[in-house]
Structure 1
Amino acid sequence: MVLIIVVAALALLAGLAANRYLRPRLLSEDDDTGMAVKDLVGPLLTLTVLLLAFVLVTANGSYGKAEVASRGEARALDQLVEAADYGPVAQREALQADAVCYARAVRVQEWPAMADGKGSAAPNVWSTDFRRVFKELEGKPVFGMVVSADNKRSDEREERLTQATASIPGAILWFLLATLIITVTALGICLPRRNNRGQILTLVVITALLTTALCIIKDVDRPFGGIINVEPTAIAEAERQATRDFLRHHTAADLPCDDEGNRRAV
């Protein structure tokens, strides 16, 4: 994001410098004439529409999918805990404890890792524990419900991790940045050299808006990092409910994990 802002600022300065030193050699018209302010609005609208239509929509779609997957994973985990209530006491309590630890591992360890487009192995420990308990429930009526909920949880987690990576190729972002440079520089050349305060102000506004659009695209394209990000609110709520159910008959010390979702040493 910093690179985009720096390059855009350099493009603006290059355009203004070209207007002062290169324009007299390219154009023979009077220095008081040039591109009017209203003429700058056309490129602004065109480029803004192109950026929003072809890139921002894609980035926003990735953000939306990440948010939906995060909520879906939390709901599936909650359904798993609720379905466990229909099973034997030992397996019910084991699944409740594993659900708490899984949610902690996702919230504390995997969420920060997704800011860099990566995942974490910590939640895998508890999803493996889920399957171990499922084997003990095989043949019981509750077996189908917990397996179905866990499959849903797994699918939603996979989708969440997929959306954590950038959906827009880096080549496209570089192309957009190059387009911004060319556009701003060309507009700077077309400005009149005198009596041009209005045109310069408009060019600065155009540069700022296009730069902001590119920064938003880059930020939204990484749903779990940056200014506009998906918070672990849903998984935190699932953790709270699972903890509440587990603490009905146990204490926090009975959980097999610490506050970060790591398995306690036995």
Structure 2
Amino acid sequence: MVIPVVVAVLALIAGLAANTYLRPRLLAEDDDSGMAVKDLVGPLLTLTVLLLAFVLVTAYGSYGKAEVAARGEARALDQLVETAEYADGKQRAAIQSDAACYARAVRVQEWPAMADGNGNGNGSKAPSVWSTDMRQNFRPLEGEPAFGMLVSADTKRSEERSERLTQATASIPSAIFWFLLAVLAVTVVSLGICLLRKHNRGQLIALSLITVLLTATLCIIRDVDRPFGGIVDVQPTAVSDVEKQATRDLRTHDKNAELPCDAAGNRVTQQTKG
């Protein structure tokens, strides 16, 4: 977000400089004449605002989908943990352990990997280790009522994770962002040239406010377009809650049960397969 601010400031300075040194050569008119404050909101400014508004809506749509996918994944994982209660003790413990470690790997490793918005949809490999383990632990339950529910919940979890990883990638191409930045700079410079050269305090204030608002909008677009990083981001709260719930359910049956993963979600023990 530093780049839009720097460009906007430089454009404002360039516009004011052009107003002082270039305008007298371009316009043969008295220094006291010029555009009124209301005239600053012309076709160019309207075009800029419309472009920024359209791109902001697009970026926010991607942000909303990312948040929905993250919550959907957590709900599916929670359903899987609860359904595991219908399995026998050995399989229940294995599935709930895998679910807790999966949630931990997502929270600790995959979330930071999605922060820059430049991912290719692969995310971290750590959660896949545990999702594979979960599916292997489903096999001994084939033919039992819990099997279908577990497979259904795991399928939903996989779909939501794929959607989350897809939305982690910036939806606004870099070319469009740089185009918007160029439009913003041209708009600010053009408005700066059109200012009155004398008695222009009101226009200077108006131009400064316009520059701040346009720059803030572009910064918000840049931030929202990276839903898992930045100031306005999707937090791993839901998946963290599932991690705690899975661990709690596991230790309800065995107080001394230990997860087969470390604090980052990496495997530390070899889990026994059923």
| TM-score bracket relative to the smaller structure | over 0.9
1:170 to 161, 170, 174: 174
Alignment of 1:239 with 2:243, yes or no, is yes
Alignment of 1:113 with 2:113, yes or no, is yes
Name stretches of at least 5 consecutive residues in structure 1 with no aligned partner.
none
Aligned twin of 1:29: 29
Aligned twin of 1:11: 11
The C-alpha deviation readout for 1:155-187, integer Å capped at 9, x for no partner, is: 000100111110011111111111111111111
Q: Determine helix, strand or coil for the equivalent of 2:150.
A: helix
Amino acid aligned to 1:231: Q
Given that residues 11 and 184 in structure 1 are in contact (C-alpha distance below 8 angstroms), is that contact kept between their aligned partners in structure 2?
yes
Displacement of 1:205 = 0.6
Structure 1 runs, 4 residues or longer, greater than 6 Å off: none
The C-alpha deviation readout for 1:36-80, integer Å capped at 9, x for no partner, is: 11112445555334311x100000000000000000000000000
Alpha-carbon distance between aligned partners in 2 of 1:191 and 1:62, rounded to the nearest angstrom: 39
Aligned twin of 1:214: 218
Aligned twin of 2:188: 184
Alpha-carbon distance between aligned partners in 2 of 1:45 and 1:109, rounded to the nearest angstrom: 43
Amino acid aligned to 2:29: E
Superposed, 1:104-183 pairs within 5 Å as 104-117=104-117, 118=119, 119-183=123-187
Alignment of 1:75 with 2:47, yes or no, is no
Amino acid aligned to 1:183: T
* Distance change (3 Å), C-alpha of 1:195 and 1:252: farther
Alpha-carbon distance between aligned partners in 1 of 2:217 and 2:254, rounded to the nearest angstrom: 52
Alpha-carbon distance between aligned partners in 1 of 2:89 and 2:227, rounded to the nearest angstrom: 39
2:265 to 249, 261, 264: 261
Given that residues 251 and 257 in structure 2 are in contact (C-alpha distance below 8 angstroms), is that contact kept between their aligned partners in structure 1?
no
The percentage of aligned residue pairs carrying the same residue is 70
* Distance change (3 Å), C-alpha of 1:265 and 1:145: closer
36-45 vs 254-263, which moves further = 36-45
Supply the RMSD in Å over aligned alpha carbons. Answer: 1.3
Aligned length: 265
Displacement of 1:190 = 0.6
Given that residues 48 and 187 in structure 2 are in contact (C-alpha distance below 8 angstroms), is that contact kept between their aligned partners in structure 1?
no
What TM-score, normalized by structure 1, do the two folds share?
A: 0.96
Displacement of 1:115 = 0.2
Given that residues 44 and 206 in structure 1 are in contact (C-alpha distance below 8 angstroms), is that contact kept between their aligned partners in structure 2?
no
Alpha-carbon distance between aligned partners in 2 of 1:168 and 1:125, rounded to the nearest angstrom: 31
Aligned twin of 1:48: 49
Aligned twin of 2:65: 65
Displacement of 1:109 = 0.9
* Distance change (3 Å), C-alpha of 1:181 and 1:252: farther
Name stretches of at least 5 consecutive residues in structure 2 with no aligned partner.
none
Given that residues 48 and 183 in structure 2 are in contact (C-alpha distance below 8 angstroms), is that contact kept between their aligned partners in structure 1?
no
